[in-house]
A and B are shown apart, each in its own frame.
Chain A
Amino acid sequence: MKETWKELPIGCIIEEGGTSRKFKTGDWRSERAIFSKEKCTNCLLCYIYCPDDSIIMKNDKVVGIDYDFCKGCGICAKICKAKAIEMKPER
């Protein structure tokens, strides 16, 4: 904590937009989605279903999970027909 109440902008605001990118919400997670590139068929169901936009894509292919924002809800693992995503407890 650096600023005192005197230095903060008034009205509980943040003086810029798009700041959710800076707020890493992935640390709430109790289960971790483990992605297996070998099993993945790139059906992209996980990408469509992920409520937190945490499926990382590269050249139209799934390449991994964004752990900064993945909350471990397990929807991707549940929807994956190829069983390419597995949920494991966070340590």
Chain B
Amino acid sequence: MPMKALTGNEAMAEAMRQINPDVVAAYPITPATEVVQLFANFVADGRVDTEFVAVESEHSALSACIGAAAAGGRVMTSTSSQGLALMHEMLYIAAALRLPIVICGINRSLSAPINIHCDHSDTMGSRESGWMHIFAEESQEAYDSIFQAIKIAERAYLPMIVSTDGFIISHCMQRIDMLEDKEVQDFIGECKPHHSLLLTDKPYTVGPLSLQDYYFEHKRQEIEAMMQVAPIIDEVGKEFGDKFGRHYGLFEEYKLDDADNIIMAAGSAAGTAKVAVDEARDKGIKAGLLRIRVMRPFPYKQIQKVLKDKMIISVLDRSDSMSTMGGPLFIETRAALYDTETHPPICDYIYGLGGREIDVENILSVFEKGEIYKKKGVEKKLAFIGVRE
């Protein structure tokens, strides 16, 4: 298999080229611009068969994607931050219409103040829209996950976002182990939509009114679809791993088994955290990392299983929920652990908003704080890393 040095965005654009979707409708936004810009080149050079729709906003981009997917096409787009926010209305519609659209998302903070750098507030803000969501740690995983996303989405009939951390991953170069075009096509197979508007002998109605009499049933059905997703993600991750040697699941465990002092994180900071785990272990701390890969559906049962006997869990959240209870990863993990008998102590650290750096020392200090909390109990439920205080 060929190796290439690519940025995260280039890797995602290459993945899109190899998928060769029927329709891509997109609007540029930093730091996701490159993905569709490169893809537009592939279209112009005749390297894909895709119908590329250059629209006037992200709202229109996802609207066009919804139309194309309802027509039975395999459809993709890419966006970031304000773009995803502008898609918000359409996100819910794509999910409820059960259209397996895939977004290459690049995580970027939301305005105001205006900022183009990474945090997770954009995709976290969409976590109740009915989209499945994978946080890729680095470019190889992003590249691999996009193929899986196509397959998962088309099996579950739900849309999916695969996201990387803006600039940190999207604009940094990494060696990517590429698949052959044919391997990709064999893996993703043929797109089999649940209905197609292009089959005029089998007309159907998309998006009709559904009031007190049936709306609830339609939503219940959508919730059920999401409940059935976790095994599909595992299954497709395993299929991918068996074929190409890189296995993926709902989350990644790094030295978790014998650890009692745990950090949980999503995205690129998990890479930094792995170095911190190693350094903490050199200091005698039984450190471990649980890296959330799939945020939607939230793998709460599996998390309960691996975290229930841990002595301290420190969650790193790259966005806040404004509930005053901490970030979304913390809140959901804590809720998951409520159903365990052990109720392991857990605390939250908000970090990296607007692209603020986080380094190994920062994460080491979380492990060190964890050692104190192990003995004395959690003193601070919610703390902030790297903010001027």
Contact = CB atoms under 8 A, between A and B. Distances in A.
Contact of A12 (B203, B208, B213, B224): B208
A10 B217 contact: no
B117 interface: no
A15 B207 CA distance: 11
Contact of B97 (A4, A5, A13): A13
A13 B217 contact: no
B160 to A, nearest CB: 16
Given A13-B195, A16-B203, A17-B203, A8 B208 contact: no
Interface string B192-218: 001100000001111111100110111
Interface in A1-22: 1, 3-6, 8, 10-19
Contacts of A15: 195, 204
Interface residues of A, number: 17
Contact-residue size bin, chain B (C-beta under 8 Å from the other chain): 20 to 34
Given A1-B213, A5-B224, A12 B218 contact: yes
Nearest to B95: A11
A11 B194 contact: yes
Contacts of B220: 5
A27 to B, nearest CB: 13
Contact of B205 (A4, A10, A17): A17
Given A1-B213, A3-B217, A10 B208 contact: no
A36 B300 CA distance: 68
B204 A10 contact: no
Contacts of A10: 98, 157, 194, 221, 225
A14 B195 contact: no
A11 B219 CA distance: 10
Interface of B: 96-99, 157, 194-195, 203-210, 213-214, 216-218, 220-221, 224-225
Given A12-B96, A12-B210, 18 more contacts: A1-B214, A3-B217, A4-B217, A5-B217, A5-B220, A8-B214, A11-B97, A13-B97, A13-B204, A13-B205, A13-B206, A13-B208, A14-B205, A15-B195, A16-B203, A17-B203, A18-B203, A19-B205
The 4 closest A-B pairs by CB, nearest first: A17-B203, A11-B98, A14-B205, A5-B217
